């Protein structure tokens, strides 16, 4: 059976499974739609949380970033992993004890204000749509390469699948679909990693293979060989970084605290029966997440080593089929600058952004790249989002492994996209309609509006997937920065500060979101020519500026809250009740 047939088979079977689960677990009430009825088992919730958490950025893009950035790419690994620990220990149990449906619900009740609720909804929508853009781009990349359809059509197909199980099943359907998606994505990630680790080092455990000696007789460990190989080509060492320490710190911290403010992950802890179950599911999720995150550095290193050894100085006419496959959809580009007919891979980027191609082919058969400046020596453009997907092909693994990776990439992107779209629809139907503008709305009408909101959100997500503002992990990093600057301080102070009042929280959220959003838009879209350390504030890149936005949020909130009366006594009692340890009294286990 051909690889193409296997890919259609694997993807078709997994999509059928997701749709069947959605039909089986159709939401019959708003509680089913918002929090899956509140009765999900901690292990199932841990798997669903892991799938929600491990998005296209984790599955597709993170190892690609590590492959090309080396040491500097570790900021994503440290930030996202540490952020989940921060969320699980610092916020999740308290929010579950609060017992509402959404993050804006908590902010609205805690700050006793419709304005605070509306501002939280706006922050959530802004963050979620920024995040979901990366997921839909990941869906398009997988479809375009492995199912040989246009990227835009791939996004539309992904939208259709998400529409069925998100609109029909709500959180109940999404939860059990995500359990299946976790099994698919983790199997798809680990199988090729084990294969490749064994081929390169003789050790089938990727985490150990990363530090093991290669089997080529050189006597070098994987990282030593990668360092030497890249230095011979003119690159810097793979294991040393180029980023300024302050930027590394800022990006890592922004990703950590941004994680703790991500609404689609927080809402997962509302789906379990009690507070102790929220803690248990957080622990299970951490184990499930660690399986992928401890494997990613090895996958990135193996991918870069295999790519260089396979491509550099290879005559284009003898280039492997996978190179030309990715070239055909515009995610690899080559321009023969020295006219030798061979692919030269060296330092520097030959052009910025996805390549554009002339209709004609080059003299050696290559698709002629139209936007490659001749002053740069490197002849090859590689979209870093393809490395995990291309890795099995580069290593000549069996066709069923390649098909499995395609299904896993789609599972990762769709699971997170569904979670994000659900919190958007929930915020609109529950927080804006039910709790703010139409308090007397009936439950059937609220459920209808929730489904209509989900359908609308899917449409917007599809547009962002077709017109993405960057590569997957970069877009996701912006979302984390925005969450760090807006939602995290309001949630943190809502739990741990009895003094924080409405005006302080609202002013802080607005200040943090406005500053961070403006900084990102300025350097990424208005003046990308100034996007370098020389022009950044304190040397902090747009990916890390959420830290400054967070500090601004805290500063503005604390300053303004002191100018106005403290919260009412019943709100202060609510804060004390939330913070009572879960095991202190049976009465608190609601």
Give residue-wise pLDDT tens across range 419-438.
Answer: 777 777 777 887 778 877 87
Residue 463 · residue 133 · CB < 8 Å:
no
pLDDT above 90 as % of the chain: 13
pLDDT winner (highest mean) among 3-12, 502-511, 571-580: 502-511
3 state SS for 444-493: HHHHHHHHHHHHHHHHHHHHHHHCCCCCHHHHHHHHHHHHHHHHHHHHHH
Q: How far is CA 528 from CA 352, 520, 524, 535, 541, in A?
A: 11, 10, 5, 11, 12
Residue 252 · residue 75 · CB < 8 Å:
yes
pLDDT-derived band of residue 589, with 50, 70 and 90 as boundaries?
very low
Residue 207 · residue 295 · CB < 8 Å:
yes
Predicted confidence (pLDDT) at residue 7 exceeds the cutoff of 90: no
Mean pLDDT of 186-195: 92
pLDDT-derived band of residue 552, with 50, 70 and 90 as boundaries?
very high
Mean pLDDT of 572-589: 64
Residue 43 · residue 205 · CB < 8 Å:
no
Q: Which one is predicted more confidently, 228 or 32? A: 228
Q: Which one is predicted more confidently, 395 or 443? A: 395
Q: Which one is predicted more confidently, 542 or 434? A: 542
Tell whether the torsion through CA atoms of 481, 417, 393 and 151 is positive or negative.
negative
**Cα–Cα distance between 200 and 210 in angstroms, integer?**
10
pLDDT winner (highest mean) among 33-37, 55-59, 133-137, 515-519: 515-519
Q: What is the pLDDT of residue 559?
A: 95
**Cα–Cα distance between 89 and 279 in angstroms, integer?**
8
pLDDT-derived band of residue 402, with 50, 70 and 90 as boundaries?
confident
pLDDT-derived band of residue 190, with 50, 70 and 90 as boundaries?
very high
The string of pLDDT tens digits covering residues 315-340 is: 888 888 888 888 877 778 887 777 78
Mean pLDDT of 541-553: 92
Beta strands in 247-389 (DSSP E): 314-315, 332-334, 342-343, 357-361, 367-369, 380-382
Q: Which one is predicted more confidently, 107 or 553? A: 553
Predicted confidence (pLDDT) at residue 346 exceeds the cutoff of 90: no
Residue 152 main-chain phi, psi, to 5 deg:
-65, -40
Predicted confidence (pLDDT) at residue 74 exceeds the cutoff of 50: yes
Q: Which one is predicted more confidently, 29 or 274? A: 274
Predicted confidence (pLDDT) at residue 586 exceeds the cutoff of 50: no
Residue 147 · residue 11 · CB < 8 Å:
yes
3-state class (DSSP) for residue 368: strand
């Amino acid at each position: 059976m051909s690889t193409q047939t296997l890919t259609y088979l694997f993807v078709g079977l997994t999509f059928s499974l997701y749709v069947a689960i959605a039909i089986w677990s159709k939401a019959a009430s708003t509680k089913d739609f918002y929090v899956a009825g509140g009765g999900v088992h901690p292990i199932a919730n841990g798997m669903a949380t892991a799938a929600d958490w491990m998005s296209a950025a984790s599955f597709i893009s993170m190892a690609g970033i590590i492959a090309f950035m080396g040491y500097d790419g570790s900021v994503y690994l440290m930030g996202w992993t540490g952020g989940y620990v921060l969320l699980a220990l610092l916020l999740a149990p308290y929010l579950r004890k609060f017992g509402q449906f959404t993050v804006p619900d908590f902010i609205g009740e805690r700050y006793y204000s419709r304005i605070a609720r509306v501002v939280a909804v706006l922050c959530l929508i802004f963050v979620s749509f920024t995040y979901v853009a990366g997921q839909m781009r990941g869906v398009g990349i997988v479809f375009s390469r492995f199912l040989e359809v246009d990227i835009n059509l791939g996004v539309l197909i992904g939208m259709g699948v998400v529409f069925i199980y998100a609109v029909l099943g709500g959180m109940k359907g999404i939860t059990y679909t995500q359990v299946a998606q976790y099994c698919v994505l983790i199997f798809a990630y680990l199988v090729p990693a084990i294969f490749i680790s064994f081929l390169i080092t003789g050790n089938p455990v990727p985490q150990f293979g990363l530090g093991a000696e290669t089997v080529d007789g050189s006597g070098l460990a994987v990282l030593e060989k990668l360092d030497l190989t890249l230095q011979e080509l003119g690159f810097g060492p793979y294991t040393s970084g180029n980023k300024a320490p302050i930027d590394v710190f800022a990006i890592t911290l922004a990703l950590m605290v941004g994680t703790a403010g991500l609404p689609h992950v927080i809402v997962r802890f509302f789906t379990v029966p009690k507070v102790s179950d929220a803690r248990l599911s957080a622990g299970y999720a951490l184990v499930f997440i660690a399986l992928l995150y401890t494997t990613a550095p090895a996958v990135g290193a193996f991918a870069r080593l295999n790519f260089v050894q396979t491509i550099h100085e290879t005559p284009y006419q003898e280039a492997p089929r996978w190179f030309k496959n990715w070239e055909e959809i515009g995610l690899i580009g080559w321009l023969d600058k020295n006219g030798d007919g061979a692919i030269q891979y060296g330092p520097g980027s030959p052009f910025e952004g996805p390549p554009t191609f002339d209709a004609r082919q080059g003299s050696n058969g290559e698709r002629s790249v139209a936007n490659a400046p001749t002053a740069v020596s490197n002849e090859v453009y590689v979209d870093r989002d393809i490395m995990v997907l291309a890795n099995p092909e580069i290593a000549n693994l069996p066709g069923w492994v390649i098909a499995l990776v395609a299904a896993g990439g789609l599972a990762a992107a769709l699971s997170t996209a569904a979670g994000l779209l659900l919190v958007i629809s929930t915020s609109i139907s529950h927080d804006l309609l039910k709790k703010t503008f139409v308090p007397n709305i009936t439950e059937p009408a609220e459920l209808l509006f929730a489904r209509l909101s989900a359908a609308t959100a899917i449409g917007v997500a599809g547009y962002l997937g077709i017109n993405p503002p960057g590569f997957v992990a970069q877009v996701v990093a912006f979302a984390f920065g925005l969450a760090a600057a807006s939602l995290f301080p309001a949630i943190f102070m809502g739990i741990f500060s009895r003094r924080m009042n409405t005006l302080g929280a609202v002013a802080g959220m607005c200040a943090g979101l406005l500053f961070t959003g403006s900084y990102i838009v300025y350097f990424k879209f208005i003046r990308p020519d100034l996007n370098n350390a020389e022009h950044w504030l304190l040397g902090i890149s747009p990916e890390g500026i959420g830290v400054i936005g967070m500090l601004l949020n805290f500063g503005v909130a604390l300053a303004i809250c002191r100018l106005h009366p403290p919260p009412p006594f019943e709100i202060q009692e609510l804060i004390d009740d939330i913070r009572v340890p879960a095991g202190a009294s049976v009465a608190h286990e609601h």
